[in-house]
């Protein structure tokens, strides 16, 4: 049985909450758990789940991951708990952390997540906010590692909105020394603080590039990645954004401009034939369903470390 590194009492609100060494450790542990060459048990531990937004992958992968280490989850539905009535976060956080060993939260404002973390006596995990989706980035880089092994040889091009997924990819990419290119329309840049922090982590290497032409951005890339153009909560902007993102669809033509061994990722759920074509999702280049499976393995590794 492999002994996890200790991240006890630490929060995972951002990709920056772990060091490069800890990140690599979590990816390696996830791979061992996936290959069943190690086994970790935390019997009777409880993970509280608070989802203010819909979720399939994040919710179920956390539930299964917790079950695999011998623990359990409590899924708090905001509409049937006092959370939806507007009970202050500082009250909810103190009470829930006296029952649970960990809390994973999906919400809108990142500042609300930070408020939970401030008052919780147990580790808080970001299950997606408007700023970051760090658990998704763990699965993304495990999928990339499985394909290419050496991160320093990887060029990752994200095509689409500079959203929470893009922000976490940039920060994780910086920690791992991966060249990250963001191909987005003008006006849809990633968070400026994220760009600044990533450039500080990369030090002198010019490995983060913001490009507004997807065809230029995919040249020499071996990972193409996209996400929906309108995130949850942006439904009113959908029609306008669809126009702004015209030309940013990952289709077979764009894939053919990348390297021959290029893989395609999407965090899902996808709007087929909008940000990515159905043909590319189902193509030999797609690793989208391996990536989705990896959510469970990386979160099992993360939970094990946070409980150690
Ligand atoms: N990728 C992702 O977070 O999926 P869900 O919204 O289904 O959790």
In a shared domain, residues 175 and 286: yes
Q: What whole-number distance in Å separates Cα of residue 280 and Cα of residue 251? A: 6
In a domain, 118, yes or no: yes
Claim to verify: residue 115 and residue 177 sit in the same structural domain? no
Query: Cα 285–286–292 angle (5° rounding)?
Result: 155
- Residue 3 domain flag: no
> β-strands 263-266, 179-183: how paired?
unpaired
Q: Is the peptide bond before 288 cis (omega within 30 degrees of 0)?
A: no
Residue 2 in any domain: the answer is no
Say if residue 140 is in the same domain as residue 284: yes
Axis-axis angle for helices 20-34, 288-307 (nearest 10): 110
Question: Are 231 and 267 part of one and the same domain?
Answer: yes
pLDDT digit string, tens, across residues 157-214: 999 999 999 999 999 999 999 999 999 999 999 999 999 999 999 987 789 999 999 9
**Tens digits of per-residue pLDDT, 29-87?**
999 999 999 989 999 999 999 999 999 999 999 999 999 999 999 999 888 899 989 99
Query: Please, which pLDDT band fits residue 1 given cuts at 50, 70 and 90?
Result: low
- Domain-located, residue 299: yes
Ligand 1 centre to CA of 215 (Å) is: 28
Domain match, 167 and 71 both: no
Burial class (CB in 10 A: 0-12, 13-18, 19+), 272: middle
Q: What is the mean pLDDT of residues 9-23?
A: 95
Q: Which pLDDT score, from 0 to 100, does residue 203 have? A: 84
- Whether 103 and 211 map to the same domain: the answer is no
Residues 140, 264, single domain; the answer is: yes
**Residue 254 counted as domain residue:** yes
CA 1 to chain CA centroid, nearest Å: 27
Residue 169 within any structural domain of the chain:
yes
pLDDT at 110 over 60: yes
Question: For residue 70, what are its two tokens?
Answer: 């011998």
Same domain for 105 and 194?
no
Identify whether residues 257 and 143 lie together within a single domain.
yes
* ∠ CA 8-14-20, rounded to 5°: 75
CATH number of the domain residue 207 falls in: 3.40.50.1370
Question: Residues enclosing ligand 1, CB less than 6 A?
Answer: 55-58, 128, 136, 267-269
In percent, the amount of the chain with pLDDT more than 70 equals 99
Q: Are residues 122 and 206 in the same domain?
A: no
For residue 231, what pLDDT is reported? 85
Domain assignment of residue 10, yes or no:
no
Residues annotated as catalytic (active site), given as ranges = 106, 133, 136, 227, 267, 295
Structural domain count of the chain = 2
Residue 120 token pair: 């919780």
Q: Which of 49, 52, 54, 58 to mutate to test the pocket of ligand 1 (most atoms within 8 A of CB)?
A: 58
CB atoms within 10 A of CB 289: 11
The pLDDT score that the predictor gives to residue 154 is 97
Is the Cβ–Cβ distance between 113 and 124 less than 8 Å?
yes
pLDDT of residue 2: 54
CA of 136 to the centre of ligand 1 (A): 8
Please tell me the distance from the alpha carbon of residue 292 to that of residue 294, in angstroms, as a whole number. 5
Same-domain pairing of 149 and 74:
no
Residue 194: domain span? 136-291
Same domain, residue pair 104 and 246: no
Q: With respect to residue 6, please indicate whether it lies within any of the assigned structural domains.
A: no
């Amino acid at each position: 049985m492999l002994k996890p590194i200790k991240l006890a009492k630490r929060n995972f609100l951002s990709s920056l909450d772990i060091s490069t060494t800890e990140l690599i450790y979590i990816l390696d542990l996830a791979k061992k758990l996936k290959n069943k060459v190690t086994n970790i048990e935390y019997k009777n531990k409880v993970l509280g789940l608070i989802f203010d937004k819909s979720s399939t992958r994040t919710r179920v992968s956390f539930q299964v991951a917790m079950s695999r280490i011998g623990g359990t989850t409590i899924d708090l539905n905001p509409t049937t708990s006092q959370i939806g009535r507007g009970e202050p976060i500082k009250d909810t956080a103190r009470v829930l952390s006296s029952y649970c060993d960990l809390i994973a939260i999906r919400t809108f404002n990142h500042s609300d997540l930070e408020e939970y973390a401030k008052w919780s006596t147990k580790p808080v995990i970001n299950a997606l906010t408007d700023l970051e989706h760090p658990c998704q980035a763990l699965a993304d880089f495990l999928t990339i590692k499985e394909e290419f092994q050496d991160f320093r040889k990887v060029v990752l091009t994200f095509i689409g909105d500079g959203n929470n997924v893009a922000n976490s990819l940039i920060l994780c990419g910086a920690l791992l020394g991966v060249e990250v290119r963001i191909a987005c329309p003008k006006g849809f840049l990633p968070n400026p603080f994220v760009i600044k922090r990533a450039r500080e982590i990369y030090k002198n290497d010019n490995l983060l590039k913001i490009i507004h032409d997807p065809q230029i951005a995919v040249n020499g890339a071996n990972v193409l990645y996209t996400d929906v153009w309108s995130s949850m909560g942006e439904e009113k902007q959908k029609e306008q954004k669809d126009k702004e993102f015209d030309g940013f669809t990952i289709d077979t033509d764009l894939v053919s401009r990348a390297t021959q061994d290029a893989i395609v990722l999407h965090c899902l759920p996808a709007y087929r034939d909008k940000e990515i074509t159905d043909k590319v999702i189902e193509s030999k280049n797609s690793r989208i369903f391996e990536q989705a499976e990896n959510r469970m393995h990386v979160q099992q590794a993360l939970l094990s470390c946070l409980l150690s």
